[in-house]
Amino acid sequence: MIKKKQPTAYEKTKKAYDAYHKKEKQANRDMVKTQTKAIYYEQESYGKPKKEKEKLIKLRNKWLKSYDAANKRHKRYKRAADAAKDKLGKLQTAKTNRAEVADKITNHNKEHNNEGHCAIYRSDGQSSTVIFISPTDTESETSSVNITSWPVDKGSPRYSHARTASESKSIAGLITGKDRAEANSKYKQLEYWRDHHTELTYEGDFKKSHLLISELGQSFSDLRDNLKVTITFSYVRAADVTSSTGNKSHVKKSKSTKTTAGSRNKRYTAITIKPGDTLLGLSRKYGQSVAWLQKVNKIKNPNLIYAGRTLYLSKKERDIKKKARVK
């Protein structure tokens, strides 16, 4: 089965803009229609007998109420359409800038010049500026991982006790210009990116996006048009973020779901979390799912529990002691 191609961010935003713009125009037509009706009944009421006039005024008020509703819809859809249009403009700018950056790098690599062929540019596409550097001294990357020094539960996967701490890239080389002033201008651009914490992409022996400049320096020498610079990049990881509209939906649960979901409505046996304990390890040790323990103990992050905190369980105390006994 052929996998359906996912729409790009630009295509999704364009679709949203078209939908909101269409609804905005429909709401505008509704405003004209309802306002025309209200004016008609207002004019018809002039000089009429009292009962007939009251009837016409009632119809006028009805259409005025419809006009207010259409006006609110028009404002709501216009705000949504304007926001989508702004986002569309930014995405189009990013698309254009990325194409310009790609052309600059391609043309630069074809030409013979004194500049290096390693490129630094913005990851978000909000600028077409490219700084070329020649890594004459070093071009390296390092990473480190934090691993627990505490003993882990038998049967608990070791990977759950390790976290990537940092990932950095180091570049040392030359920035070249037609003269020293141009080279200094390129260095000033790097300083601007560093000070504004701009996410950058580096293309050289390796290519990496979403880098921040954590260290930037230059050493002064007798080079006329070149600058000796050192750059250290730190990689920024992105996490999946979910959001809620705030609307509470009530989903009917089966009995099996209810028994595993967890509840604090009854009394549980409690244990104290010790250094080195993990929620996964404790769930296996005491026969409860991680999701159940999270809900009962109101734990948002299953990878973050604190030593000394009380953890509620549903097993009988004698069963827990028997299972937790050291062999």
Report the sign of the C-alpha dihedral through residues 180, 183, 188, 191, in that order.
Answer: negative
Token pair 């009917």: residue: 252
Quick one: pLDDT at residue 273?
A: 87
Predicted local distance difference test score (pLDDT) of residue 154:
75
Answer yes or no: are the C-beta atoms of 168 and 234 closer than 8 Å. Answer: yes
Task: For Cα atoms 212, 215, 221, give the angle at the middle one, nearest 5 degrees.
Answer: 130
Q: Are 290 and 302 in contact (CB under 8 A)?
A: yes
Looking only at Cα atoms, what is the longest distance across the chain?
101
- Angle 36-42-43 from CA coordinates, rounded to 5°: 90
Q: What is the pLDDT of residue 245?
A: 53
pLDDT at 57: 92
Sign (positive or negative) of CA dihedral 179, 104, 11, 23? positive
User: What averages of pLDDT result for each successive group of 10 residues across the chain (327 residues)?
Assistant: 70 92 95 94 90 92 94 95 93 91 90 82 93 89 86 78 85 88 92 95 92 91 82 82 53 41 56 86 84 87 85 60 45
pTM: 0.58
